Structure 1
Amino acid sequence: MSATATKASPALTAQPSIAKTDRQPAAGNASPHGPVPALYETILVERRERVGLITLNRPRSLNALNTVLSREVVAALRAFDADANVGAVVIAGSPRAFAAGADIAEMADKTLAELQTNDVFAAWQGVQAITKPIIAAVSGYALGGGCELAMMCDFIIAADDAHFGQPEIKLGILPGIGGTQRLTRSVGKALAMDLILTGRSINAAEAKASGLVARVVPAAELLQTALEAAHTIAGYNAPAVRMAKEAVNRAHEVSLAEGLLHERRLFQAAFATDGQKEGMHAFLSKRAPVFRHR
């Protein structure tokens, strides 16, 4: 949910060298490399071969998450999910901040009735419906809503300068788009309670040790590492990739017995795909498989 956001932390003032505007059109063509032909106000969207790339683009507010950004991120994810030419997606921020939190200026004067009538965070529920893998490439600050957005992704690759936290308690509130639930599942109750109740943050090394982050790499290598991981995933049999994601996510929701049964059914279903035949026969023939993603 919210975090240190637009006005919450004087220490997170945007650098003058960053672009002056939040409004950036994604112009171009639909080639395998290049921007996606759509107009977005708060994000940049492009496709690199079979990988979709979404870059948060509110530099003056350190990518604070507002309503427009949430809707645009979900819309771009849905478009990539429906695109047969995309097999995985990377969400990135800027070198200084993946996202420093939710936009406090947008929420400060909201009332209980307003939030119940018009849930400003409802759009984020669309992320969990995406069937293709999503990788968060996190550098700099991932606080509050920024940390929650990273945790919505299937796994996080962090730069060695990244910091994660849920400091909403300092604003008189608590996380509201998954922080209490996803953080607890990722790092366990003790550390989740510590971070949420004290509002402190942890660095990339601590996040890796706690299980929040899958990999930590030098900041200069972050985007390339995330794109390479996404390219690897996107090269595999797409139905099997979707099934694997579904099976792992189910582990958080059901008992072990139910999860094992669901996994077995998905394993069996993979044998109805062209990719299973291609992958296994390629292995037996000692050649690289050529998946047609069906």
Structure 2
Amino acid sequence: MSASTICESDLVGVECSGSVGIVTLRRPSARNALSVQMLEDLARILRDCDAAPEVRCILLTGGEAVFSAGADIDALSGYTAATYPDSVNRHAFDAIRATRTPVVAAVAGYCLGGGCEIALGCDVIVAADTARFSQPEINLGFIPGAGGTQLWALRAGQGAQAHAALTGEMMDAFAARRAGLVDMIVPACALKDAALQLATQIAAKAPLASRAAKAAMRAPWGAPLHAALEQEVALMSGLLASEDASEGIAAFLEKRSPRFAGR
């Protein structure tokens, strides 16, 4: 497969700049909320970029205004404890993390929930000074279900991960940089150029060595992390059967404070 044969979609764009495949989330009316179709398209396009020999680095962005506000809650409300483990959502995130080609995330504005988990699955995160990171799932009565209880610790440590998962609080770009969550901060207007410059630098290196380096760095993501991610999915699935999760989703959609009952 060549880069020229990679088909974009209405929700996820793709273009090439030299040896860099630029993949863009484009659902601005919903702040790039991750619908089922968007996740399917993103996973497919990343697989296609991965299979194109001339693509030596991938740049993943949501644009200068927002990366992603997280999962589409309307879509998430359709999952149950029985259906979530084999859901499109779950398998799409698996496919994103399985990309062998180095991936640079260019993050501006909101990077929340599932959007944050996508960014954390990338190799390098370049953040605009407007970037805001959060795992707000606890506010809806469930937990991150695509790596958010594991991937923060790999970058920012257990303390930052616990704070993110248990409070749902927002972390700005500068706090994220101090914590080690992001690797570089630039003005929002310079985000794409700075991230593309870095991606181009990576793409200029020996492609076999780049993939080998990525595989070696991700070796600790093997059995122990895989087992932890499986447990995360099982716990998330169980929570989707709870009254609290139903109440949290309903409250979000109705724009009111949730009334959790602990069942």
Tell me if TM exceeds 0.5: yes
Aligned twin of 1:143? 112
Q: 2:212 and 2:87 mapped to 1: Cα distance?
A: 34
- Contact kept, 8 Å, 1:67 with 1:121, in 2: the verdict is no
Cα distance in 2 for partners of 1:164, 1:236 equals: 30
> Does 2:4 correspond to 1:53?
no
Change over 3 Å in CA distance of 1:241–1:117 after alignment to 2: closer
Q: Find out whether 1:120 has 2:89 as its counterpart.
A: yes
Q: What is the Cα deviation at residue 220 of structure 1?
A: 0.9
What is the aligned partner in structure 1 of residue 35 from structure 2? 66
The Cα shift of 1:86 comes to 1.0
What is the CA deviation profile of residues 121-167 of structure 1, one whole-angstrom value per residue up to 9, with x for unaligned ones?
A: 22210122211100000000001111101001111000011000101
Structure with more helix by fraction: 2
Secondary structure at the aligned position of 1:64 is classed as coil
Provide the rounded CA distance (Å) in 2 between the counterparts of 1:194 and 1:39: 37
* Equivalent in the alignment of 2:243: none
Aligned: 1:182 with 2:128:
no
CA spacing shift, 1:242–1:110, aligned 2, 3 Å: closer
Structure 2 spans left out of the alignment, 5+ residues: 225-263
In structure 2, the residue matched to 1:17 is none
- Tell me what 1:211 maps to: 180
Q: Corresponding residue for 2:252?
A: none
Distance 1:143 1:171 in 2: 13
1:97 maps to which residue?
66
User: Which residue pairs with 1:19 in the alignment?
Assistant: none
Using the alignment, how far apart are the partners of 2:215 and 2:64 within structure 1? 31
CA distance in 1, matches of 2:86, 2:39: 18
Deviation at 1:245, TM superposition (A): 1.1
Offset of residue 117 of structure 1 = 5.2
**Residues 43 and 115 of structure 1: is their aligned pair in 2 closer, same or farther, counting only changes over 3 Å?**
same
Give the secondary-structure state (helix, strand or coil) at the position aligned to 1:180: coil
Number of residue pairs aligned between Structure 1 and Structure 2 = 222
Instruction: Quote how far apart the aligned CAs of 1:85 are.
Output: 1.1
Per the TM alignment, residue 41 of structure 1 is displaced from its structure 2 partner at its CA by 2.7
Looking at structure 2, the residues matched to 206 and 193 of structure 1 have their Cα atoms a distance apart, in angstroms, of 15
Q: Give 1:241's aligned residue.
A: 210
Equivalent-residue separation in structure 2 for 1:100 and 1:119 (angstroms): 18
Q: Determine what percentage of the aligned residue pairs are the same residue.
A: 37
Q: Deviations over 1:230-266 (max 9, x none)?
A: 11111111111111111111245589xxxxxxxxxxx
**Contact 1:157–1:216 (8 Å) recurs in 2:** yes
Aligned residue identity for 1:236: K
Task: Name 1:82's counterpart in structure 2.
Answer: 51
RMSD of aligned alpha carbons: 1.9
Letter in 1 for 2:122: C
1:196 aligns with 2:169: no
Structure 2 CA distance for aligned equivalents of residues 245 and 123 of structure 1: 20
Counterpart contact for 2:135–2:148, Cα < 8 Å: yes
Confirm or deny that 1:133 pairs with 2:102. yes
1:85-133 CA deviation, whole Å, 9 max, x = no partner?
Answer: 1110000003221000100011224322232454532221012221110
Taking structure 1 as reference, are residues 119 and 42 closer, same or farther at Cα in structure 2, changes over 3 Å only?
Answer: closer
CA deviation string 1:3-29 (max 9, x = no partner): xxxxxxxxxxxxxxxxxxxxxxxxxx9
In the alignment, what sits opposite 2:123? 154
Equivalent position SS for 2:101: coil
Distance in 2 between residues matched to 1:37 and 1:75, nearest whole Å: 9
Distance 1:59 1:43 in 2: 11
